[in-house]
Structure 1
Amino acid sequence: MPTTVTWDYIDESSFKADDPEKALAVAEEFLAAARDPETFYDDDVTPAALFIAASESFYDALLPLRAYEAAREAQDAPGDAAPDKRVYLIEGLLRTGQEAEANELAKALRAEKPEDPMVYSFLGDSYDAAGDAHNAERWFDMGIEMVTKVINDADDLDRDELAEAMETRELLILGRHAVRHAAGHQPDDLDEEALEILEEYDETDEDDDEK
């Protein structure tokens, strides 16, 4: 363990854990550090984020219950974890078959109308992975609506912020399309837009291959 927990340490440790056994060792190391009140953190790292890093490593170790437990501990730990530490608990609840509590927490989060579009993307993906196409599409739809409103109010954004918002909207549209396509729905306008985005990606890849 370093004397101070940094994102470089978290990222490098996670990257090196390329099999379940190594991932488990890293998860245990993260968990022990997060629980230790003597642990020091870099300015942009929080105890909650370290618990979430442990949770993600437990998933890599094929231990979803322990991943859920680490995400649960993060809720009472100081600080947050992007995009919102509650989404990791919802993911853990879904992956351990606790749908009722997951839906209750998701409902409370939805009522707050989160401003970070990655909350919507994360939960869309989480519900999709849990086989709940209805809620997956619902979260993607809410995210698209929120980001579209931000783009329409573009006077408040600089060029980089607008580009980021448009990229995020594309990400949400593609996530929604994947859910609807897998569910066998007839394409709607947003699905058609998703297909256009995918076609543009393919053309870009072809241009890169020709260089």
Structure 2
Amino acid sequence: MLSDDGLSDDDVDEIVFKAAGNGDHRGAAATLEALAERSETHSERVTRASLLVDAGSQYGLADDWDEAIRCYRAAVADGGKCPVDPRVWLHDGLLRNGQQDDAAALRAELKASRSVDPGVYEAVAESLESIGLLTDAHAWFTMGYHRCEHATVPDFMLDLLLVGRRRVRVALGYPTDDLDEVAEDYMETVGG
């Protein structure tokens, strides 16, 4: 599993897929945490911080949000490279653990950072949507689109923000607008 270059994404995926098959998310989380503490396992793509985020996700799947939050906080403190800002996963864990005030403070911090990564906005919006905060989710999908529309990002990531925005707007009973039409065009293109 471990090459001279450290862990690969495939190595991490193997741990995650095995847990998905056998349901041992706690075991996978413990394995990922142990790998995070072994610097020789780290690579350019698989960092201590990213392994801690993956461990937190496994604890979340085991419905152990205290442990998930602990891992996410450690990933944030680490400051290492992650595919998406680890604060979005900490935000999700706080929401799911009923720590609304802490989640709101972290949302304010994320908003102030003015990221141009659509993944940040999508993750925050979907977390808000998952617990029924649809107006807030709508704001994050919309803000993400506008902050990222001129950034150097793949078009499909912008389209995914608009698809999420459209889904929330339908749930809220909002009338169709120009951005909803872009989302519908995208869904027709990929759907058929």
> Which TM-score applies when normalising by structure 2?
0.88
CA distances 1:154-175 after superposition (whole Å, capped 9, x unpaired) = xxx6xxx6xx2x2122111001
Q: Is the 8 A contact 2:39 2:48 kept in 1?
A: no
The residue number in structure 2 matching 1:72 is 73
Q: Is the 8 A contact 1:173 1:191 kept in 2?
A: yes
Question: 1 CA distance for matches of 2:145 and 2:44?
Answer: 32
Q: Is the 8 A contact 1:87 1:122 kept in 2?
A: yes
CA distances 1:92-129 after superposition (whole Å, capped 9, x unpaired) = 11111111111111111211210212111111111111
Q: Which runs of 4+ in 1 moved over 4 A?
A: none
Give the aligned length: 190
Which structure 2 residues correspond to residues 99-118 of structure 1 after superposition, within 5 A?
Answer: 99-118=100-119
Question: 2 CA distance for matches of 1:140 and 1:43?
Answer: 30
1:188 is aligned, of 177, 181, 192, to 177
CA distances 1:60-111 after superposition (whole Å, capped 9, x unpaired) = 2232332222112212225132211111111111111111111111111211
The residue number in structure 2 matching 1:175 is 164
Structure 1: runs of 5+ lacking an equivalent: 151-156, 204-211
Which structure 2 residues correspond to residues 65-144 of structure 1 after superposition, within 5 A?
Answer: 65-144=66-145
Question: Structure 2: which amino acid aligns with 1:82?
Answer: P
Q: Is the 8 A contact 1:19 1:61 kept in 2?
A: no
Question: 2 CA distance for matches of 1:8 and 1:200?
Answer: 30
Question: 2 CA distance for matches of 1:44 and 1:199?
Answer: 34
Question: 2 CA distance for matches of 1:20 and 1:73?
Answer: 27
The residue number in structure 1 matching 2:146 is 145
Question: 2 CA distance for matches of 1:169 and 1:33?
Answer: 34
Distance 1:41 1:98, change over 3 A: same
Q: Is the 8 A contact 1:137 1:179 kept in 2?
A: yes
The residue number in structure 2 matching 1:208 is none
Question: Structure 2: which amino acid aligns with 1:196?
Answer: D
The residue number in structure 2 matching 1:10 is 12
SS at match of 1:56: helix
Question: 2 CA distance for matches of 1:38 and 1:201?
Answer: 41
Identity percentage over the alignment?
A: 32
> Which TM-score applies when normalising by structure 1?
0.80
Structure 2: runs of 5+ lacking an equivalent: none
Cα RMSD (Å): 2.1
The residue number in structure 1 matching 2:59 is 58
Q: Is the 8 A contact 2:35 2:41 kept in 1?
A: no
Question: Structure 2: which amino acid aligns with 1:174?
Answer: V
Question: 2 CA distance for matches of 1:192 and 1:42?
Answer: 42
Q: Is the 8 A contact 2:7 2:46 kept in 1?
A: yes
Q: Is the 8 A contact 2:29 2:59 kept in 1?
A: yes
